[in-house]
Chains A and B, each alone.
Chain A
Amino acid sequence: MGRITQYYHATSLEDAFAKAKQLGPVAAYVGGGVELVLRRNPEITTLIDLSHCGLDYIAASREGIEIGSQTTLTTISRSADIRQYAGGSLAWWAGHIAHNNLRDMITVGGVIGRNQPWNDVVPHLVALGAQVRLFDGTERITPLSDYIEAKQPGAIIKGVLLSAGNAGSRGFLWRFTRTQQDISTLHFSALVNCDGKVMTAANLVFAGRPGHAALYPRLSEELVGKSLSHETFARLAEMAPDLVEVGTDLRATGEFRRELVRAAIVNLDEHMTGVAQ
């Protein structure tokens, strides 16, 4: 165990941020639900609890849906608005990944903030084009994919925004795991917009390679403007294994993960062309 000596229940975002700023690197936010990692960090002496900062909300508006960072996966999975968003893929998977204890503990802000490798929600949110609302004295909004690339130390994630513009697109998630509650050996998420015959927009994300989520614009481009056909996806399945960066860990070799990349695209093909019929 580390040397945690203080547990601070913040009363507001401003309060939490001020406290963290005052204490510097010995402080950490508690908001992910799963805080074991903090106990093991010998540097940290103070924990700042975010659960009383009003961050557990799901708000739908004309612009889209905002999910408060302290919202658990279970709550997300049950939201009627999120169930309708992009075919309901986020809601379904938030209710099926990991296991029931974790789904009731893990918060969306927690997994984004720590970029926890077992989590399939973050890459899926990236594919859905989500943005994060950050607070570091003032509020600002930045794309989730940018946030992951260049993490803003000190900033508190206030919420996650799903834009209304993507609500009618088709969200898709395919993951390969050893058992149902294992973390992904390979995660593949896609958001595809299709007018029935031609695909007009696409976001493709691979994760668990091992490592965190990344968008593959080069692969996405391959779909945009193309007809919804097996041939289109067959071309993609041919290119993707060489383009997606994969590595070796105890769950799989890089070579096997390349096969999974191909399998992911075939599954997207079956999903999309099946839907079209």
Chain B
Amino acid sequence: MTISINVNTVERSFDIQPGEVLLDVLRREGYLEVKGSCHSGDCGACTVLLDGRPVASCLILVAKADGHAVTTVRGIGDQAHPHVLQEAFVKNGAVQCGYCVPGAITSAKALLDENPDPTEEEIRLAMDSNYCRCTGYEQQVEAVLDAAAQLRKGDKK
């Protein structure tokens, strides 16, 4: 069947099987910034925003996203134009192997979009799907605090 999804603000239509999950279709269509890891919704690596909310793309049937908007980490920012969150991750030593980082930044983006001044505890809760085996998590929490502070100052967006 053919479905249409707005991916990173671009209307796309995809030929899919009704049993496929969003992750597999996104990667097949070249959105390789979405990383797969556990394929069972336990690790958060494949997090994307579905209508602004962070979801595990390995669990969502792609047909369910028909007519909806998906944002991947590349839709948040890229190397040439990094989002303040991506910059803060790099500046705060929050990137090591980096495999969890697209998912972690995507969860953080959803948080900051509705809570510009989160506490550390709110950050941990809003990103608790995102397993990371390299950083011990703390520097990523600091990165989100840093990004939130910069966004509040209004000199970055």
Contacts and interface: CB of A to CB of B under 8 A. Distances in A.
Contacts of A60: none
Nearest to B16: A7
A34 interface: yes
Interface in A96-124: 96, 99-102, 104-105
A102 B41 contact: yes
Nearest to B1: A7
B18 interface: yes
B7 interface: no
B56 interface: yes
Contacts of B127: 100
A73 B126 CA distance: 13
Given A95-B125, A180-B128, A104 B55 contact: yes
A56 to B, nearest CB: 12
Contact of B18 (A5, A101, A105): A5
Interface residues of A, number: 29
Interface stretch (B25-33, B60-68, B84-92, B137-145): B60-68
Interface residues of B, number: 25
Contacts of B17: 4
Contacts, number: 75
Nearest to B3: A7
B96 to A, nearest CB: 21
Given A1-B19, A34-B41, A101 B56 contact: yes
Contacts of A96: 125
B36 interface: no
Nearest to B17: A4
B102 interface: no
Interface string B79-122: 00000000000000000000000000001000000000000000
Nearest to A6: B18
Given A6-B18, A36-B41, A95-B125, A102 B61 contact: no
A202 B53 CA distance: 37
B64 A34 contact: no
Given A100-B54, A101-B56, A181-B128, 5 more contacts: A7-B18, A47-B19, A47-B61, A100-B107, A101-B59
Interface of B: 1, 17-19, 21, 40-41, 44, 47, 53-56, 59-61, 63-64, 66, 107, 125-129
